[in-house]
Amino acid sequence: MSRGLPLGKGRNGKGNCMSDILLEMKNITKVFPGVIALDNVNLKVKKAEIHALVGENGAGKSTLMNILSGTYPHGSYTGDIIVDGKVCEFRDIKHSEKAGIVIIHQELALSPYLSIAENIFIGNEKARAQVIDWDKTREDALVLMKKLGLTDNPNTPVNKLGVGKQQIIEIAKALAKDVKLLILDEPTAALNEKDSDNLLQLLLELKKHGISSVLISHKLNEVSKVSDAITILRDGKAIETLDVGDAPIPEDRIIKGMVGREITDRFPKRTSEVGKVVFEVKNWNVYHPDDPERKVIDDVSLTVRAGEVVGLVGLMGAGRTELAMSLFGKYYGQKISGQTFIDGEEVRLSTIPKAIEHGLAYVTEDRKQYGLVLIDDVRHNTTLASLRQVSKNLVINEHEEIRESEKFKEALNIKTPTILQLANNLSGGNQQKVVLAKWIFANPKILILDEPTRGIDVGAKYEIYSIINMLAAQGLACVLISSEMPEVIGMSDRIYVMSEGRFTAELDGKTATQEEIMRNIIQR
């Protein structure tokens, strides 16, 4: 994609780092009730530098950046923020943006029904005498879009665009605010490989124009690919800052700093004891919910056995999530046809309650929107899918609910001071464990896991993998949907390859390779 910005020099477009310090955070300490989130953390970012910030979930990365962006205002922490040699006391986000610091959160802050141009200047409107100048808005939006390689009509509503383009619109918003330092929190978590590469290339091009970036990411291959320096946080402390230099830093070296130990095997070993077929789908067809002529799932059939982990892999848009959601109580799609069998008996999974009743559970890829009630506590989230187990005559037995929630907190190692903690206050990895606890508590026979490790760190991933293996060992039939091919290969007994709504191959998980998977993806 041509963006109209020149590339930098050196490895992967990197130029020589300037010696001038743009940002210095000195002795930053932040305390929440009962928790020291940041303990005397120091960070330096140079001008025209891409500086990665890595660490396990809960290490303090987002907290540090929320302090820098003014989300946590001056006075709510101790320590100093120095930008261009001046001590700054940011009261709010607007205050930090005036200093040239802009944060882009993992959940994009775009208004879906407004146009590209409106979103670029939202909160920063082009106005005269308090009246918006729409011609100027569109004209300036086009200039920024051209710089970033966006060729869409600026009047296009952003909900008509893919996530990759929406990320670029967020960056255009930042450029409209004369950004000096761009903070990106997991910017590629929801992107496919092509869009991720485009975004990383854009950061390198922005760097050539003197714009620094702080990149928070769990994708360590991307971190080492574009970063000039990598600061590792662990348990609220800055452990070390690594200078990337001319050669990438091995992922194992970064992981050791993150978790404090060597991880020699990314995927825990499991001895498969596969039993009878528990779940079978025959000739499953689904049409798009908004277009009755557009077939999304085309004549798909699959089987999953007791104690088996079946991987489902494909590029974004292949139909993996649509398949899972249509099976789970026909939550997605229209004109759905086909048969579903559980333990050899045909069942009608026409609603979500019926799906749960028959033993089907679905761990959604979007835990914050669909998996959890974020404003409620761990206790209530754990029992939410099967309240019958902790109630009698429609009255919940709170003592039983607490006992069950405590049991899952211990069994899944959910790191929270209390089960009364709000789900929103947990790290991503621990939120995912609560989602798993909710569905395990429902006693399912079949568990569909859609991107179960998205946006969580390597240590938390290992724990999630161990939980999946434990469930398979107990006889559950597991379906694992993932965009990460090494994850699918490392965890699956069998793998279905999906492309354009159809299965193109069924592979043995023990012998499958990424190259073989890609061949079967693109053969259509």
Q: For residues 6 and 138, what is the distance between their CA atoms, to the nearest angstrom?
A: 24
Q: For residues 233 and 239, what is the distance between their CA atoms, to the nearest angstrom?
A: 6
Query: With 0-12 CB in 10 A as exposed, 13-18 as middle and 19+ as buried, what is 198?
Result: buried
Q: For residues 378 and 225, what is the distance between their CA atoms, to the nearest angstrom?
A: 37
| pLDDT given at position 14 | 44
**What is the helix, strand, coil percentage profile of the chain, to 5?**
35, 30, 40
Per-residue pLDDT at 499 exceeds 80: yes
Q: Which two tokens stand for residue 49?
A: 């530098």
User: Quick one: how far is CA 153 from the chain centroid?
Assistant: 28
> DSSP H helical segments within 227-377, as ranges?
251-259, 320-327, 352-357
Taking residues 388-398, report their average pLDDT.
90
Q: Which two tokens stand for residue 97?
A: 């943006």
Q: For residues 120 and 173, what is the distance between their CA atoms, to the nearest angstrom?
A: 4
What is the CATH code for 273-359+445-524? Answer: 3.40.50.300
Query: pLDDT tens digits for 300-333?
Result: 999 999 999 999 998 767 899 999 999 999 999 9
How far are the Cα atoms of 51, 178, 359 from residue 55, in angstroms, in the given order?
13, 29, 36
Contact indicator for 385, 439 with CB cutoff of 8 Å = yes
Tell the residue number behind the tokens 């211990």, with chain if given: 410
Q: Which two tokens stand for residue 127?
A: 């106005």
* Residue 33: Cβ within 10 Å count: 6
Pick from 105-109, 160-164, 188-192: least confident: 188-192
Specify the 3-state DSSP secondary structure of 221: helix
Per-residue pLDDT at 10 exceeds 50: no
106 or 388, which is more confident: 388
Contact indicator for 22, 83 with CB cutoff of 8 Å = yes
How far are the Cα atoms of 95, 104, 163, 379 from residue 118, in angstroms, in the given order?
22, 17, 17, 41
Query: pLDDT tens digits for 194-246?
Result: 778 888 888 898 899 899 999 998 788 888 889 999 999 988 899 999 988 77
Per-residue pLDDT at 3 exceeds 50: no
Element (H, E) at 489: helix 485-491
Per-residue pLDDT at 463 exceeds 50: yes
Taking residues 9-30, report their average pLDDT.
68
Predicted confidence band of residue 17 (pLDDT cuts 50, 70, 90): very low
Q: For residues 114 and 166, what is the distance between their CA atoms, to the nearest angstrom?
A: 12
Per-residue pLDDT at 101 exceeds 90: yes
Beta-ladder partners of 408:
none
Specify the 3-state DSSP secondary structure of 436: helix
Spell out the domain ranges in the chain: 1-100+180-261, 112-178, 273-359+445-524, 367-443
Q: Which two tokens stand for residue 460?
A: 């938390």
Contact indicator for 357, 337 with CB cutoff of 8 Å = no
Q: Which two tokens stand for residue 269?
A: 């070993």
Q: For residues 443 and 309, what is the distance between their CA atoms, to the nearest angstrom?
A: 17
In this structure, which amino acid lies at residue 412? L
Predicted confidence band of residue 12 (pLDDT cuts 50, 70, 90): very low
Per-residue pLDDT at 93 exceeds 60: yes
Predicted confidence band of residue 155 (pLDDT cuts 50, 70, 90): very high
Mean pLDDT (the chain, rounded): 87
Query: pLDDT tens digits for 357-382?
Result: 999 999 998 888 888 999 999 999 99
User: Which residues in 244-290 belong to E strands, given as ranges?
Assistant: 277-288
What is the CATH code for 1-100+180-261? Answer: 3.40.50.300
Q: Do domains 1-100+180-261 and 273-359+445-524 have the same CATH topology?
A: yes
Sequence-distant (≥ 6) Cβ neighbours of residue 481 within 8 angstroms: 311, 312, 313, 320, 321, 324, 365, 448, 449, 450, 451
Predicted confidence band of residue 460 (pLDDT cuts 50, 70, 90): confident
Q: For residues 300 and 281, what is the distance between their CA atoms, to the nearest angstrom?
A: 7
